[in-house]
Amino acid sequence: MITLTQLEYIVAIDEYRHFATAAEKCFVTQPTLSMQIKKLEDELGVIIFDRSRQPVVPTDIGSKLIEQARMTLSATERIKEIIKEEQQEVEGTLKIGIIPTLAPYLLPVFIGPYIRKYPAVKVEIEELVSEEIIRRLKRDLLDVGLFVTPYRDERIIEVPVFYEEMLVYAHPESELLKKKELTHQDITTPEIWMLGSGHCFRNQVLNLCEIFEFQHNKLPFEFESNSLETLMRIVDVEGGFTLIPELALQYMAPEKKKQVRSLEDMKPLREVSVIYSRHFTKRRLISLLCEEIKSVVPPHMLKRDRGMIVEWKACEKVE
C-alpha cells in the first residue's frame, strides 16, 4: 500500500537529486529512505529513479508519478487547511518569494503589520528572480510569490494587488529634466542604465523602449546591475538615467525626487500580483496577505485604469 511518507520521499529526491540530502531534509537515515523507495518501486512494478546517473534523475514514468505525488500531498494538506478555515484559525507557515525590484520597497511597509496581526503565522521570505519563483512554486518549495504579471501560465494563479508607475530617474543635469513633458520616445536612447538579465523590470524597460539590442555607447562604461539602488547612485555620479518603480519614491529624499519624471504620454504601469500554484492549499493565508498589501500601498495604486500595463515575459527568455 502506498503511503504519504513514501510520496514525500520521492518528491524530496526529485528536488535534491541526491538520496543522502533528501534523507537529511526528511529527517530520516539514508537507508530508511532508500528502503522505502525500493519498497514503493517493487509494489508498483516500475523504476522511479535512475540511480546509475549522478545526480539521480527520475525515469519517464517516475516523473509522472512524482507529479501525481505532489498533487496528492497538496490535496492532503488542503484537508487540514479546510479544518483551520472552518475554525477561523490563522496559523501555519507561509513561504514567500519576492522579486528584487519589489523587496526593498514593499517588504518594509507590509511585513511588520502582517506578522504582528497574525502572530501564529510563521513567515519565511526569500528574494528571488522571477523565473526562480515560478520554478519553486511549481515544485511546492514556495507557497506564494510577490511578482509582476501578467505571466500567463495555466499552472499559476495571479491575483493583482496594485499597479505602480514606472518612472524616470535622471542625473540632475540631464536634458530629460529640462523638458516640460517626457514621452517614451525620449527614453529610447543608449544613455539608459538597466538591470541585468533575469529581472522582469529590465524586460519591461526593454519592451517600453522597444530597444532589444544596443550598446551603452554614450555612457562611460558598460554595467548592468542587480540593484535599482545601485543604478540610481551611478546615475547621480556618471550621468544618464534609469527607470524606477513608483514605490521607491517613499524612501527618497525630497531633493532626489526632483530628479524623477513621469512619462506623460502613456503612464507605464507594472502590475504587481500575489501568485501561487493551482494546487495551493493555504487559501485563508493568501487572502489575508492580499488584504494587508492593499491596505499599506497608496490608494491610487489600486487603480488599474490610471495607465498602461507594460508586459515583460515576451521580451526575452529569462534563464
Contact criterion met (CB below 8 Å) for 13 and 37: yes
Contact criterion met (CB below 8 Å) for 147 and 272: yes
- Rounded to whole angstroms, how far apart are CA atoms 318 and 10? 29
Element (H, E) at 161: strand 156-170
Which cell numbers in the block locate residue 245?
Answer: 518603480
Helix axes 4-16, 60-86, angle to 10 degrees: 120
- Rounded to whole angstroms, how far apart are CA atoms 46 and 255? 67
Give the pLDDT band (50/70/90) at residue 99. very high
Range 52-81 burial, b when 16+ CB lie within 10 A, else e: eeeebebeeebeebbeebbeebeeebeeeb
Cβ neighbours around 168 below 10 Å, total = 21
Phi-psi map region of 156: left, alpha, beta (phi>0 left; psi -120 to 50 alpha)? beta
Residue identified by cell 539590442 is 213
CATH of domain 90-163+270-305: 3.40.190.10
Span of 41-45, 169-173, 312-316 with lowest mean pLDDT: 312-316
Q: Work out the end-to-end distance of the chain between its first and last CA atoms, rounded to an integer number of angstroms.
A: 40
Fold of 165-268: D-Maltodextrin-Binding Protein; domain 2 (3.40.190)
What is the full DSSP assignment across 50-115?
ETTSSS-EE-HHHHHHHHHHHHHHHHHHHHHHHHHHHTT---EEEEEEE-TTTHHHHHHHHHHHHH
Which cell numbers in the block locate residue 155?
Answer: 499552472
Which cell numbers in the block locate residue 300?
Answer: 491610487
Which cell numbers in the block locate residue 277?
Answer: 500554484
Q: Is the pLDDT of residue 313 over 90?
A: no
Tell which wins on pLDDT, 294 or 193: 294
pLDDT at 196: 78
CA distances from 239 to 131, 191, 220, 284 (A): 31, 8, 9, 47
Taking all residues of the chain, what is their mean pLDDT, rounded to a whole number? 86
**In terms of Cα–Cα distance, which of 204, 181, 283, 180 is closest to 192?**
204
pLDDT at 281: 64
Q: Is the pLDDT of residue 221 over 70?
A: no
Contact criterion met (CB below 8 Å) for 252 and 177: no
The 3-state DSSP class for residue 125 equals strand
Question: What does the pLDDT look like over 243-295, one tens digit per residue?
Answer: 999 999 988 999 999 999 999 888 899 999 999 987 666 778 888 899 999 99
Q: Is the pLDDT of residue 227 over 90?
A: no
Extents of the domains making up the chain: 4-84, 90-163+270-305, 165-268
pTM of the model: 0.73
Has domain 4-84 been given CATH number 1.10.10.10?
yes
Range 178-207 burial, b when 16+ CB lie within 10 A, else e: eeeebebebbebebbbbbeebbbbbbbbbb
Fold match flag (4-84 vs 90-163+270-305) = no
- Rounded to whole angstroms, how far apart are CA atoms 263 and 266? 6
Q: Is the pLDDT of residue 319 over 50?
A: no
